[in-house]
Amino acid sequence: AQSVTQPDIHITVSEGASLELRCNYSYGATPYLFWYVQSPGQGLQLLLKYFSGDTLVQGIKGFEAEFKRSQSSFNLRKPSVHWSDAAEYFCAVVSYGGSQGNLIFGKGTKLSVKP
Amino acid sequence: GAVVSQHPSRVICKSGTSVKIECRSLDFQATTMFWYRQFPKQSLMLMATSNEGSKATYEQGVEKDKFLINHASLTLSTLTVTSAHPEDSSFYICSARHPGQVNQPQHFGDGTRLSIL
């Protein structure tokens, strides 16, 4: 079965420091991958997506992610974190078990930003 | 701006009450909408897939008589939690996907915090 793993439950970085959030997936073929961000008590906002083509994808708010098939990874990065980036981040993959392409989410990584 | 509107954002009610949550796609027609449940400090778990004009598809373990889903139009899906009990307290989030390929991203509502006393 497909799955998404986010190994880090909670990460704290200093404002201005670089960030990398890890995501690993399990799927035999090329997956459709997403990163979403959730602020407390809010819904999810799409940061970026990968379907095919260039393995380095750019998203909103200065985020990027790199798809590495050999490592089954889709890590999210940002060169300089801002205090407003503090939130919960979810990696997700389109499920091919269901017929309508619902999303399978990782358990999320909570990002805290130190001043 | 928001492309998916979810209402209400918060509900507090007594045990035994039925609660309806609305999910509206504001700027596109969504033949498919999804309902998720999120427990504190956990990820989103798919409850059901809502299909316009047909019955919803429920995930294993989700009681369809407990969580009634109606998708009567291309822009509106509703989730009704019938005879809610404290264990139903949770954060419920809907999403809508642009029609077409399954790889289209889902757009999420802001969620509904349901608290059953």
Q: Which of residues 55-74 of B touch A (CB under 8 A)?
A: 57
Work out the minimum CA distance from A16 to partner chain B, whole angstroms: 26
CA distance B65 to chain A (A): 21
Q: Which of the residues A91, A100, A111 would you substitute to probe the B interface, choosing the one with the greatest number of B C-beta atoms within 10 Å?
A: A100
Interface residue of A38, A102, A105, A111 to substitute, partner B, most B CBs within 10 Å: A102
Give the pLDDT of residue B61.
92
> A43: exposed, middle or buried (C-beta count within 10 Å: 0-12, 13-18, 19+)?
buried
Mutate to test the interface with A, among B5, B102, B114 (most CBs of A within 10 A): B102
CA-to-CA separations, B90 to A72, B41, B67, in angstroms, rounded: 32, 11, 13
Strands (E), chain B: 4-7, 10-13, 19-25, 32-38, 44-51, 57-58, 67-73, 76-81, 90-97, 106-108, 112-116
pLDDT tens figures, B13-36: 999 999 999 999 998 888 889 999
- Burial tier of B111 (Cβ tally within 10 Å: 0-12, 13-18, 19+): buried
Residues of A in contact with B97 (CB under 8 A): 101
Residue B107 with chain A: CB contacts under 8 Å? 46
Residue B101 is predicted with a pLDDT of 67
Which pLDDT score, from 0 to 100, does residue A105 have? Answer: 93
pLDDT of amino acid B30: 86
Are A23 and A76 contacting, i.e. CB atoms less than 8 angstroms apart? yes
Q: What are the chain B neighbours of A51 within 8 Å (beta carbons)?
A: 103
pLDDT score for A100: 63
The identity of residue B93, as a single letter, is I
CB contact under 8 Å between A107 and B103, yes or no, is no
Which residues are CB-contacts of B17 (< 8 A; sequence separation ≥ 6)? B83, B84, B116
Residue A98, pLDDT score: 56
A30 contacts chain B (CB < 8 A): no
The segments of chain A whose pLDDT lies below 70 read 28, 97-100
Q: Is B80 helix (H, G, I), strand (E, B) or coil?
A: strand
Strands A109-114 and A73-78: unpaired
Is residue B52 within 8 Å of residue B71, measured between CB atoms?
yes
Q: Which of A52, A97, A59 is nearest to A75 (CA)?
A: A59
Helices (H) and strands (E) in chain A, counts: 0, 12
| pLDDT confidence tier of residue B2, bands split at 50, 70 and 90 | low
- Residue A66 tokens read as 């790199």
